[in-house]
Structure 1
C-alpha cells in the first residue's frame, strides 16, 4: 500500500519528504503572519484609529451595497481564521502518518515543564504565557473602550438626566459585556473535535477542554456582570421597562434586551452545572444542560445583531461544520461484531471498520447505544491499532456509572442479545505521534487509565514488527483496586490474536493491587468472547470524508464560505439595500440577523452534506465486501463463545510480548524513585489516571531533579 510505504520512509528522508517539509514550513510562516495581523486587528479595534480611519477605507473596498457593515468585519475578523483553518487542513494532510523519531534537543523543553496552579490544574510555561497574553488582550480591550466612552460621559449623563456615577455604571456594564465577547470568540475552538487548527497546533480536543473551561468561566463572569449591572442601572434610574424591550437603538448601537436576558439565563443554567462538585457527581445533569448552548448562541445573536456575529463567527463557523459532520456520521448504524467480557466488569467492544480509516494512538470515540439511551453519548479510548488490526476498531468500557453498568449487564448476561445497535462519532486523535523520540516510555496508569497505553503499546508493536523501527523501552506501571482488574492486562493484545512473534518490543509491567495484601487463591474467571450478528444495513466504521479527509474539510470550509458571501451579497444588494432607506432600521435588524444566520447554516449544510454523501458512495463497494466476508467467517453464529483460540490469548502477552511482569499486593508505586532511576537521554513520562496521580507525576517532572523527563498527561475527565 502507498500509505505504508510513505509511513515506513524515514521522516525527512528523500526529495519528496524534503519538499513536503519546505511546503509545511512555508504554511506555518504564512499562518503566523496572518494570525499576528488578526491579533493586531483585535488590539486596534477599540481605538479611534480603527473607526475613523480604517473602517471607511475597508468599507469602500468591500462595497457597502453588497455587504454593508458586515463587509469590513468579515474581512478583518472572519476571513483570517478561516484562511488559517484551510491552511491547517493542507498542513495536516501533508504530514499525515508521519512519526517523528528526531531526537534533537528540544529548544522549548524548559518551557514545556509542567507546573501545578490552583484553579488551572497542570499547565506549562507556554500555556501560561498565552493565557497571560489573552488576559492582557481582554484588559486592553476593556480599558480602551472605557477610555473611549468616558471621554464624553458628562454630556451623555446630562442628555439622559443621569448622575455621573450612574452614567459610569452604565458604561461599565456595556464595556464588560464587550470584553466578554473576546472570550466568547475563542470559546468554541477547543471543543471542535475535528478542528484543523487544533491539529495544526499539535493539540486534540480532549487535551484542549481545559482551555474551553477557562474561557467559559471568564466569559460567563463578564456576561453576568454585564447583565446584572444593567439591571441595577435600570432600577436606580427607574427604567426597568428597558428590560422588556425587544428592538431598540441605544447610543447608536443595536441591542435586543429580552434576547440578551434569555441568553444570560441559559448561560447561567449551563454555568451552574460545570463546577467539579456537580459535574462529577451528576454528569448527566451537566451533559443535558450543556445543550443549552444552542439557545445561548441564538439569543446572543439576536441580542447583539450582525456586527458581533461576524466578529465571533470564525470559531462558531468551524464548530458548526464539525457538529454537522458529526450529526451525519451519528445517523449511521455501525457493525458491532463482538465483545470481550472481562471479570473486572470491563468489556471490549469490537467494531468492523474500513481499511481506509486510519487513526493514531490515544484517539477517542463517542459511542451511543440506543437501547440504553437515545440521547447519551460517552467518550472512550480507542485501544486498537489501525495497521495491526486493519478490519477492527476496539474500545474498552469499564463500569463506572449507570450507563456503563447497563451496557455490561446487557452484554454479560447469559441471555445476551445477538445484536447490539450502536452509533459512533469519531475517532478523534492527534495528527501525529512522537513516541519514537524517546529512549524510554514510562506509562503510569490508574484503573481504566491503562486504555490509552494499550493503544500506544499496540502501535509500537506494529512499528517494531512490520517496519523494523527502533522502539523505546517501555515500562507500564498500572495501579488496580483488586486482583480481578489484572485481567485488563490481557487487552494488551487484540482479540484477533495478532502475532507478536517477530516483535522486539521491550515491555516491562509493574502492576500494583492496592486493596489486597496477598494473591488470592482462587483464579480469576477467563475472558469471554461474545459474537454478534449485525444487520445488513449496519455499516463498517469509515472516515467521514474518505482517505483525504483533511482536503475535503478544506474544501467544505472554503466553498461554504464562498457560497455564504455570494448569497449574502445578492440578498443584501437586491433585497435589503433597496428597502433599507425606506424602512425603520431597528425593525429590520432582527430580520437581517436571522436571515444572515440562516444563510450561514444553509451554506454549511449543503456543502458538508454533498462531501459526506460523495465519500459515502465511494465506500459502498468496500462496505459490501466487508459484510460478505464477515458473514462467511462467522457462518451466522452468535451468542457466547469461548474456544481454545480465545483462551490462548490470555497467555500471549506473558509468553511473547512482556519481558518481565511483577505484581505487588497491598502497595502503591514509588513514582519518584521509578522516574528518577529511569535510564536514557530522553524519558517520556506519560500518565493517565486520577487527578492526584497526574499531579504527583507532574510535580516529579517539574522538580528539576532529572532533566531527561518529558511529561505528558492523558486525561479524559471533563
Structure 2
C-alpha cells in the first residue's frame, strides 16, 4: 500500500518558513534551555555546585539591592522555565496559523520512532506505559536516586565523632538528621515538576508532543513519589527530635530560619489530598476528593513559609504557570454558555449542542469542562467534544454520560489504516475524529487512511449513539463518498434487534437567555500570543514590585547589624506580589479581548430554530424508511451490527494491512489492556497504539 502524502500539492513558502521557525524554536528550547535545566538539577547535589558554582552565582545575583538572597534562584531556576513558556506560546501560535494537514509518510524513521511509543507495560501500578514513557520514568527515578545518594554521601562525610560530640549528639543521630533533610531536598525535585501536567493551557507540554489531559498520569506519579518523600522527611525529623529531646522543635515558627510548624501544616494538607486520591475513595466519594484537592493552596502557602521564599524560587516556575492558567480559567468560568439544542438518546446518552465563536479552533478528541450551577457551583466535569471546528464552525457538541476523561495526542492522519476500538461511551472521542476525516475528504483532494470503527455496546438502545457521527446540522456541506469507513458494532447482551420504539431519538431546541453567549477563547483568536504576553508582563511586574519592596523596605533592615527582616513576612510579601501581578495583567488582557469577543458574538448568525415535528427514529437501524441525505445512506451501508457476541480483537487487528496501522482504543480498563497486549506482542510491527483512558 502506498504511503500517505501531503494534503496540498504544494505548501506556500510562508508556511514552510513558519515550520522552519517552529522547528528552530523547539530545538533551541528543548535541547539548549531545557537541557541546561536538567544538567543543573543533576549538578545541584554535588560539591562542585555547592563549592564552586553556587558561590559564584550568589556573588553576582545576590549582591543586588533589589532582589537580595532570592536573586540567584530567580535567575537560575525561575527565568529559564518562564522563558521556555513564553517562546512556547510563540511556537504553538505559529502552528495554529498554518493550516497544517500534513500527513507524515510511513517511512522507516516514522515507524522506528512509533515503535518506541508502543506499550511496554500493560498491567501494573503505572497502567499502560509506552517505551518512551518508561525510559523517561526510569531516568527520573535515576535522578532521584543520584540526588539522594550524592546528598547523603556528601552530608555523611562531614559527620565525625568529634563534630557530633560538639552538638551533643551521637553519630547515628546526626546522620538521621542529615538523611531527613536530604529526603526533603529530593522531594523538592518532584514538587518542581508537579504542576506542569495540570496547567490545561500549557505552552510547555506541546513542545514535547503532550497534552494536559494525557499528562494527568504524570501528575499522579509525581504526587505519589512527592508525598512518600515528604512523609518520610517529616517522620524522620520527628524521630530525630524525639531521640534528642528536642520535641519542642515541632511547634517552632522561626522568624529567620526554617519554620517547622509551617512544614508540618503543609504535610498535613498534602496527606489529606493523598489519602483521598486512593482509587476506591475517589470513585465512591468523588466530592470529598474534589474539594479536598483545594488544599493545594494551603499546601503551597505553608511550604513557602516553611522553606522561605528564596529557596522556594526553585519550585516556583511550575506553580507560577499553573496560577496564570488557573486565574484565566476562573475569569472564563463566569460566562454562561449558549445552549442551542440537544439530542436525547435511548441509551442514557445526551448530546448537548452549544453555540461557539467561529474563531475558536480545537483538535479532535478535545475535552470541554462544563459546570451546571444548579448541581454545584464549584465542580467542573470534563466531557469529550464530538463536534469538529472545521465541519461545524458555529457549534460545539459534547455527549454527556460517563466516558473518557481525557485524550492522548493523536496523529491519526499519518497512518494507512486507522482502527478505532471503543467500549460503550468510549466512542465519543472517535466521533470527533471521524468528523475531522469527513471534513478533510470534502475540503481536500488527498489520500486519507482507511477507517475501521469497532464499537461494543451492552444493549441495542446504545447503538443510537452512532447517529451522532453525523452532525445534527452543519453550515459546511460535506460528502462521505470518498471516505473509506467500515463500522462493526457489537451488542453483547441482546441476541436480536428490538422492534419497539426504543430506538427513537428526541431533538430539543432551546431559547437562550439574553445573558448567554457563544463559547469563545477568553483571549481571542490570538490566545497563545496573549498568554505569552501575560506570562512575561506579569513576571516583569512581579520583579518590579519585589525590587521596590526589597530596595526600600527589606534591604535597609537586613543591612542593620541589630535586626534581620522576618522570613515569613518576606514570603507573604512575595506571594502577594505574585498574585497581584498575575491578576492585574491577566484581567487587563481579558478585558481588552472582551470587546472583540462581543463584536464577534453579534456577527454570529442566529442558529436557533423551531422544534422539529415528530420524534425521529434511529437513522442507522430503520433502514426501511427513506433516508434524508447521502451521508446518512453512506453511513448505513458502512455499518454492520453483530448481536450476542463480542469482537475478536486479535483477529481483527492482525487482519489489518498496511505499512502503518494506527490503533486507538477508548473504553474500559480490560479492553484497553487487551488491545495494548495485542499491539505490544511483536507479532505485527505495523501497529501503533494509543490509549484514551476512562479515568485519571
Corresponding residue number in structure 2 for 1:676: 654
Counterparts of residues 103-118 of structure 1 (less than 5 Å): 103=105, 104-105=107-108, 106=110, 107-115=112-120, 116=122, 118=124
d(CA) in 1 for partners of 2:187, 2:145: 11
Q: Does 1:543 align with 2:517?
A: no
Corresponding residue number in structure 2 for 1:234: 241
1:206 pairs, out of 213, 231, 242, with: 213
Question: How far 1:85 moved relative to its partner?
Answer: 1.2
Question: How far 1:648 moved relative to its partner?
Answer: 8.5
Question: How far 1:210 moved relative to its partner?
Answer: 0.8
Corresponding residue number in structure 1 for 2:169: 162
Q: Does 1:494 align with 2:471?
A: yes
Indicate conservation of the 8 Å contact 1:361/1:429, yes or no: no
Q: Does 1:122 align with 2:99?
A: no
d(CA) in 2 for partners of 1:182, 1:440: 42
Indicate conservation of the 8 Å contact 1:380/1:397, yes or no: yes
Indicate conservation of the 8 Å contact 1:382/1:394, yes or no: yes
Corresponding residue number in structure 1 for 2:19: 21
Indicate conservation of the 8 Å contact 2:505/2:615, yes or no: no
Indicate conservation of the 8 Å contact 2:406/2:692, yes or no: no
Q: Does 1:383 align with 2:386?
A: yes
Question: How far 1:543 moved relative to its partner?
Answer: 0.9
1:693 pairs, out of 671, 678, 684, with: 671
Question: How far 1:351 moved relative to its partner?
Answer: 0.7
d(CA) in 1 for partners of 2:167, 2:613: 85
d(CA) in 1 for partners of 2:563, 2:184: 23
Question: How far 1:53 moved relative to its partner?
Answer: 2.2
Corresponding residue number in structure 2 for 1:268: 271
Question: Could you say if the C-alpha distance between residues 23 and 668 of structure 1 is closer, same or farther in structure 2, counting changes exceeding 3 Å?
Answer: same
Question: Higher mean Cα deviation, 50-59 or 315-324?
Answer: 50-59
1:102 pairs, out of 66, 85, 104, with: 104
Q: Deviations over 1:224-261 (max 9, x none)?
A: 00111111111112211110111156xxxx31111111
Indicate conservation of the 8 Å contact 1:360/1:433, yes or no: no
Q: Does 1:361 align with 2:364?
A: yes
Q: Deviations over 1:518-561 (max 9, x none)?
A: 22332424211122221112111011211111111111111111
Counterparts of residues 353-502 of structure 1 (less than 5 Å): 353-398=356-401, 434-496=411-473, 499-501=477-479
Partner of 2:315, secondary structure, is helix
Q: Deviations over 1:603-639 (max 9, x none)?
A: 111111111111111111121233x724xx54xx6xx
Q: Does 1:151 align with 2:157?
A: yes
Indicate conservation of the 8 Å contact 1:340/1:529, yes or no: yes
Question: How far 1:487 moved relative to its partner?
Answer: 0.6
d(CA) in 2 for partners of 1:59, 1:477: 61
Partner of 2:129, secondary structure, is strand
Corresponding residue number in structure 2 for 1:84: 84
d(CA) in 1 for partners of 2:472, 2:281: 38
Indicate conservation of the 8 Å contact 1:206/1:715, yes or no: no
Partner of 1:606, secondary structure, is helix
Indicate conservation of the 8 Å contact 1:59/1:68, yes or no: no
Partner of 2:529, secondary structure, is helix
Question: How far 1:500 moved relative to its partner?
Answer: 4.2
Q: Deviations over 1:630-681 (max 9, x none)?
A: 4xx54xx6xxx44369669665665133542111122111111100101211
d(CA) in 2 for partners of 1:66, 1:131: 39
Corresponding residue number in structure 2 for 1:424: none
d(CA) in 1 for partners of 2:25, 2:533: 17
Partner of 1:564, secondary structure, is helix
Corresponding residue number in structure 2 for 1:318: 321
d(CA) in 1 for partners of 2:280, 2:395: 38
Corresponding residue number in structure 2 for 1:409: none
Indicate conservation of the 8 Å contact 1:206/1:716, yes or no: no
2:613 pairs, out of 643, 646, 656, with: 643
Question: Could you say if the C-alpha distance between residues 126 and 400 of structure 1 is closer, same or farther in structure 2, counting changes exceeding 3 Å?
Answer: closer
Corresponding residue number in structure 2 for 1:342: 345
d(CA) in 1 for partners of 2:618, 2:46: 72
d(CA) in 2 for partners of 1:584, 1:341: 74
Q: Does 1:48 align with 2:47?
A: yes
Q: Size of the alignment, in residue pairs?
A: 673
TM-score by length of 1: 0.90
Corresponding residue number in structure 1 for 2:60: 61
Q: Does 1:185 align with 2:192?
A: yes
Question: How far 1:316 moved relative to its partner?
Answer: 0.5
- Kindly report structure 1 stretches of 4+ aligned residues shifted beyond 4 Å: 427-430, 497-500, 583-587, 644-654
TM-score by length of 2: 0.92
